[in-house]
Amino acid sequence: MTDSRSPLDTRIEIVTPENIAFQYRLAGPFARLPAYLVDLALRIAVVLFVGFMGMMAFGVAGVPGIGLGLLAVVGFVTEWFYGGLFEALWNGQTPGKRLFRLRVLTAEGQPINAWQAVLRNFLRGADSLPWMCYQVGLLSAASNDRFQRLGDLAAGTMVVIEQRVLRADMVRIEQPEALRLAAQLPPGLIVSRSLARALSAYVTRRQMFSWRRRIEIALHLAEPLRVSLGLPPRTDPDQLLCAVYHLAFIADRLSEPPPPTRQSEPLVFS
Amino acid sequence: MKVIELLAARRDNWRELEKLCQQWETPLSGRPGAVQVTRFAFLYRAACADLALADAYHLPPTTVEYLHQLVGRAHNQMYRGRGFNFAAWLPEMLEALPRRLLHDNSLRLAFVIFWGMFIAAAVLAYHSPAVADHVLGKDMVTGMEQMYDKPIEGRDADESTAMAGFYTYHNPGIGLQCFACGLLLGIGGLFITISNAAILGAVFGHMAATPQSDNFFHFVTAHGPFELSAVVLASGAGMRLGFSIVDTRGWRRGAALRRAAREAVPSICASIVLFALAALIEGFVSPSALPYWSKAAVAIVSTLLMLFFLLALGHARRSTLQLDKNSATG
């Protein structure tokens, strides 16, 4: 398994058995804290509930000691086996991790097995030093590139964020000025990959900026584009980028007349 | 084909995959049928292909981002954890573990350190009450003396259950803490082992010198072997982790730690089993009014059981399972 990370990003690349590389976002300490707190609250709730019910049931029966013993055993199991059991049975998730869309995977991005789940939770004893403040774990997570605490390092696991972004659709250009401008551009315009990426990054986010800010950002790309396309100097940079975007991603090239360069090509099959 | 048409053609596939992921992520959804799995695999491969060609297709970054997440999500449903495979744990615990423990230098070290410190502290505390006061603190010494003032006369089953539960909660927690602290380069493990041994040794030595010694040994004899062995086992497992980072035997430190950790899991599980057995004995047998010889018998039987586990199972010939494996590889 290979992995490569961009130096300033919390992403990790996984190569699957299908030989596809895809990226995960790693979960740092502060993405994991809410999940930990939910799990902690759940554990306490279970212990309180079992304790209450046990004391009620066995207390009425005249043997409160059995209720106490049951409470202590449940306390032990939830304290040390809660994480291990859930992560082994729920494919790397505890209820808290599920709520916040975190998942434990091996450092290579594979599903974890039972011993890894059990081990990384047993070693909380070292990570939570001193006094359940998780300073050791924090230090360990800060000093490696996958935010692994000591338990993760020993078990060879990491925690990733499984995001759910529901939007995969493209932004459509509706403003008439941009569409008019697009019709004026040469139809055979070839958009390179990096230009396409920059255009779509701009168009997806331009709604978030004010008019002046848009001009300021767009000008960097629009000015050289305008010069190379031979457009008049008063062209609106924002609209120009939208027009090129429209041409690159949305406009139907087939319905337009073929570019003039094609017509001048020699007919090789005649 | 324009990007927008491509997206329109693929969108239904992606949505369907997303829906299947959502369905399978629900923990209690049951096993998906064969038709569903096949369909899922098809959709997953298609999404993988789309992601691989995203650059060639000029897909916009938002879509690429979406595909990364979709493929990641589907990957985690496609390749799932297997849960607990108890059939594989039994030979691991009964065959591989004793053989490993028999040759485990960390366990030997933990054994020597624990018992060495225990005996040293016991001898010192026996001869000088000041040592016990110093190691344990005045309050704990007087507390211990008061606790064993009365002879052991047994208590009702109700209280015994409560105490057994308490020991189950308390003692393995200490063991697991020993184990986890071993990870701190072995120094944390050494420190905890030595301090536990010093405290326990001082208690034993001091109590032996007091008039309450009969009551004390009446109480601790039965569960002593299991409990003390469990502490040693947990410390040894922890030190194994810690020392693997220092002496890597040619492996990289991370790899050495992961290897040692994999082998330490059965040890710490065995230690928890010992703690649980000790808690049962401590809850029900130790405080009972049974005569001393029966409690000593429990201690002897439990020691013999552990020796059998370590020596007989550790020296046992390889099982048929592993012979098969060897003949297959060789």
Measured between its terminal Cα atoms, the distance across chain A in Å is 53
Percent of chain B past pLDDT 90, that is, above it, reads: 0
**pLDDT tier for residue B330 given thresholds of 50, 70 and 90:** very low
Across the interface, whether the CB atoms of A87 and B81 are under 8 A apart is answered yes
* Chain position carrying tokens 């986010």: A205
**pLDDT tier for residue B190 given thresholds of 50, 70 and 90:** confident
Give the tens place of pLDDT for each residue, A39-97.
999 999 998 898 888 888 877 777 777 778 888 888 888 888 898 888 888 888 899 99
Tell me how long chain B is: 330
Beta-carbon contacts of residue B226 (< 8 Å; ≥ 6 apart): B274, B275, B277, B278, B281, B302, B306
Tell me how long chain A is: 270
Q: Specify the pTM.
A: 0.76
pLDDT at A39: 92
pLDDT at A263: 40
The arithmetic mean of pLDDT across residues A21-49, rounded, is: 88
The answer to whether B269 and B237 are in contact (CB under 8 A) is no
- The candidate with the shortest Cα–Cα distance to A155, out of A118, A192, A101, A204, is A118
Which 3-state string (H, E, C) describes A179-203? HHHHHHCCCCCCCCHHHHHHHHHHH
Across the interface, whether the CB atoms of B169 and A75 are under 8 A apart is answered yes
pLDDT at B327: 41
CA dist B184 and B186 (Å) reads 5
pLDDT at B76: 84
Across the interface, whether the CB atoms of A111 and B45 are under 8 A apart is answered no
Beta-carbon contacts of residue B205 (< 8 Å; ≥ 6 apart): B121, B122, B123, B124, B125, B126, B131, B132
| Nearest residue, CB atoms, A91 vs list B81, B84, B188 | B81
pLDDT at A42: 93
Question: What are the Cα distances from residue B188, in Å, to A86, B191, B223, B228, B238?
Answer: 29, 5, 26, 19, 9
- Written as six digits, the tokens of A238 are 């924002």
Across the interface, whether the CB atoms of A69 and B162 are under 8 A apart is answered yes
pLDDT at A37: 92
Question: What are the Cα distances from residue B43, in Å, to A20, B49, B59?
Answer: 14, 10, 19
| Nearest residue, CB atoms, A122 vs list B62, B163, B179 | B179
In chain A, what residues touch B61 (CB-CB under 8 Å)? 197, 200-201, 204
**pLDDT tier for residue A35 given thresholds of 50, 70 and 90:** very high
Across the interface, whether the CB atoms of A65 and B158 are under 8 A apart is answered yes
Across the interface, whether the CB atoms of A69 and B75 are under 8 A apart is answered no
Interface of A with B in 140-179 (CB under 8 A): 150, 153-156, 160, 162-165, 167-170
In chain B, what residues touch A170 (CB-CB under 8 Å)? 3-4, 7, 60, 62-63
The arithmetic mean of pLDDT across residues B204-219, rounded, is: 80
Across the interface, whether the CB atoms of B73 and A164 are under 8 A apart is answered yes
- Written as six digits, the tokens of A44 are 């306490």
Which span out of A186-190, B89-93, B156-160 was modeled with the highest average pLDDT?
Answer: B89-93
pLDDT at A167: 62
The arithmetic mean of pLDDT across residues A180-188, rounded, is: 73
Give the tens place of pLDDT for each residue, B227-284.
888 888 888 888 888 888 888 888 888 888 888 888 888 888 888 888 888 888 887 7
- The candidate with the shortest Cα–Cα distance to A89, out of A63, A113, A56, A105, is A113
Is a pLDDT exceeding 80 seen at residue B300? yes
Is a pLDDT exceeding 80 seen at residue A170? no
The answer to whether A241 and A216 are in contact (CB under 8 A) is no
Is a pLDDT exceeding 50 seen at residue A264? no
Q: At what angle do helices B253-284 and B292-307 cross, to 10 degrees?
A: 160
Which own/partner contact pairs does B244-247 have at CB distance under 8 Å and 24+ positions apart?
B245/B185, B245/B186, B246/B185, B246/B186
pLDDT at A265: 42
**pLDDT tier for residue A229 given thresholds of 50, 70 and 90:** confident
Mean model confidence pLDDT for chain B:
80
Q: Is A200 on the interface with B (CB under 8 A)?
A: yes
Q: At what angle do helices B129-136 and B138-147 cross, to 10 degrees?
A: 110
Burial of B235 (0-12, 13-18, 19+ CB in 10 A): buried
**Residue A230 distance to chain B (closest CA, Å):** 25
Mean model confidence pLDDT for chain A:
78
Instruction: Please report, as a single letter, which amino acid is at residue B125.
Output: A
CA dist A4 and A11 (Å) reads 9
Is a pLDDT exceeding 90 seen at residue B71? no
